[in-house]
């Protein structure tokens, strides 16, 4: 499915991966390090600002909540993720506001050396979003898609470098 | 004077076959979202048109290249979720691309 969407690597919740062998195009998303993380590349993800610590790789943010708390806790290299799936249910006014907040979080990430990440938030294949569609959302929000993909690839590479070696050995 | 024809793109969209919506209803929903987000003028200018893919739970929509970003944003932000699986400049080429995909596998994928 990732090939159909034009995406090289996809992130999957660790709970759904118990019977699948490690593959190079999958990164596990988990709350905390667990035994399965020895076999897979992984990212520690949280959506709770209180549990955000130095081990956290990715913070899932609600763009409609203020960034004040995040300003105090965001460390260099932290990934800040915005999910698209909840936006589908919003009306047009809120979607426009969401797009505005998307840009402001992107600017926040740039000024704080954090990695901006736009994700589908998909829970099934039907909810997955193609790479070209991601690029359209970024373009409409005023973000350069080329620089977005490049920065995200570099960030993923540095985050998972040691872990990839572990998986391959 | 040259007879200039604006470029178009044909978009293959996969939808959930288990949902109750039919392709023309989904097409209407995308149109409504397009109108809400970018306005009726842009929507009319995009010259959207629905085609039958003749392949299960896939529909094809034509859009002017200039408005492709607006169309894809409207599509992604529509409910129920829809996934773009291929984009092409001609209908013939798009149908060929889609038929090349192992369609039974697309339908049976479960994450």
Confidence of residue B4 (pLDDT cuts 50, 70, 90): confident
Q: What percent of chain B has pLDDT over 90?
A: 66
pLDDT(B109) > 50: no
Taking the Cβ of residue A127 and every Cβ of chain B, the question of whether any pair is shorter than 8 Å is answered with yes
- Cβ within 8 Å, pair B72-A4: no
B87 CB near a chain A CB, below 8 Å? yes
8 A C-beta contact, residue B110 and residue A125: yes
* Cα A104 to Cα A123: distance, rounded to the nearest angstrom: 26
- Closest partner residue to A125 among B69, B70, B111, by Cβ? B111
The whole-angstrom separation of Cα A68 and Cα A45 is 20
Given a cut of 70, whether residue A37 has pLDDT beyond it is no
Of B76, B79, B83, the CB nearest to A89: B79
Please state, rounded to an integer, the average pLDDT across all residues of chain B: 88
For B73, which of A91, A124, A137 is closest by C-beta distance?
A: A137
Q: What is the pTM of this model?
A: 0.87
| Chain A nearest CA to B70, separation (Å) | 7
SS (H, E, C) chain A: CHHHHCCCCEEEEHHHCCCCCCCCCEEEEECCCCHHHHCCCEEEEECCHHHCCCCCCEEECCCCCCCHHHHHHCCCCCEEEEECHHHHHCCHHHHHHHHHHHHHHHHHHHHCCCEEEEECCCCCHHHCCCHHHHHHHHHHHCCCHHHHHHHHHHHHHHHHHHHHHHHHC
Q: Specify the pLDDT at position B111.
A: 37
From the list B63, B66, B59, B67, the residue with the least C-alpha distance to B95 is: B59
CB contact under 8 A, A140 and B16: no
What ipTM does the predicted assembly reach?
Answer: 0.87
CA-based angle A101:A104:A110, to the nearest 5? 145
Average pLDDT over residues B40-56: 90
Q: What is the pLDDT of residues B5-15, one digit of tens each?
A: 889 999 999 99
Q: Which of A89, A88, A33, A83 shows the shortest CA–CA distance to A59?
A: A83
Residue A47 pLDDT greater than 60, yes or no:
yes
Mean pLDDT value across residues A23-41: 75
Instruction: Say whether residue A125 is in contact with chain B using an 8 A CB cutoff.
Output: yes
pLDDT tens, position by position, A69-119: 788 888 888 999 999 999 999 999 999 999 999 999 999 999 999 999 999
Put simply, the chain B residues between 34 and 63 with a CB less than 8 A from any chain A CB are 36-37
Task: Provide, as residue numbers in chain B, all residues whose Cβ is less than 8 Å from the Cβ of A132.
Answer: 72, 84, 87
**In this structure, are residues A64 and A101 in contact, taking their beta carbons and an 8 Å threshold?**
yes
The answer to whether residue A85 neighbours chain B at the CB level (below 8 Å) is yes
- In chain A, the percentage of residues whose pLDDT exceeds 90 is 41
End-to-end alpha carbon distance in chain A: 27
Per the model's pLDDT, the better-predicted residue between A163 and B80 turns out to be B80
Q: Is B32 on the interface with A (CB under 8 A)?
A: no
Among the partner-chain residues B79, B101, B111, the one whose CB lies closest to the CB of A124 is B111
Per-residue pLDDT, B8: 95
Is residue A38 within 8 angstroms of chain B, CB to CB? no
Question: From CA A87, how far away is CA B72, in angstroms rounded?
Answer: 15
- At residue A169, the pLDDT reads 45
Asked if B106 is an interface residue toward chain A (Cβ–Cβ < 8 A), one would say yes
pLDDT higher at B1 or A168: B1
Mean pLDDT of chain A: 83
Mean pLDDT to the nearest integer, B8-29:
90
Query: What is the per-residue pLDDT for B53?
Result: 75
């Amino acid at each position: 499915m990732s090939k159909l969407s034009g995406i090289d690597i996809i992130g999957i919740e660790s709970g759904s991966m118990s019977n699948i062998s490690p593959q190079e195009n999958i990164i596990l998303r988990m709350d905390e390090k667990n035994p399965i993380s020895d076999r897979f590349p992984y990212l520690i993800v949280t959506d709770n600002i209180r549990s955000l610590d130095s081990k956290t790789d990715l913070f899932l943010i609600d763009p409609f909540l203020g960034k004040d708390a995040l300003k105090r806790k965001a460390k260099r290299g932290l990934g800040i993720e915005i999910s698209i799936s909840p936006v589908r249910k919003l009306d047009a006014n809120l979607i426009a506001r969401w797009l505005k907040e998307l840009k402001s979080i992107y600017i926040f990430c740039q000024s704080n050396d954090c990695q901006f990440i736009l994700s589908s938030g998909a829970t099934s294949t039907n909810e997955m979003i193609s790479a070209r569609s991601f690029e359209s959302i970024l373009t409409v929000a005023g973000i350069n898609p080329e620089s977005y993909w490049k920065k995200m690839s570099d960030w993923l590479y540095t985050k998972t470098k040691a872990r990839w070696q572990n998986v391959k050995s | 004077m040259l007879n200039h024809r604006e470029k178009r793109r044909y978009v293959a969209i996969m939808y959930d076959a288990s949902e109750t919506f039919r392709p023309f209803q989904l097409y209407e929903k995308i149109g409504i979202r397009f109108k809400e987000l970018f306005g009726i003028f842009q929507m009319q200018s995009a010259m959207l048109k629905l085609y039958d893919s003749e392949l299960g739970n896939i529909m094809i929509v034509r859009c002017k290249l200039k408005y492709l970003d607006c169309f894809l944003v409207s599509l992604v932000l529509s409910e129920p979720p829809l996934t773009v699986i291929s984009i092409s400049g001609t209908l013939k080429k798009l149908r060929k691309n889609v038929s090349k995909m192992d369609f039974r596998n697309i339908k049976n994928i479960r994450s």
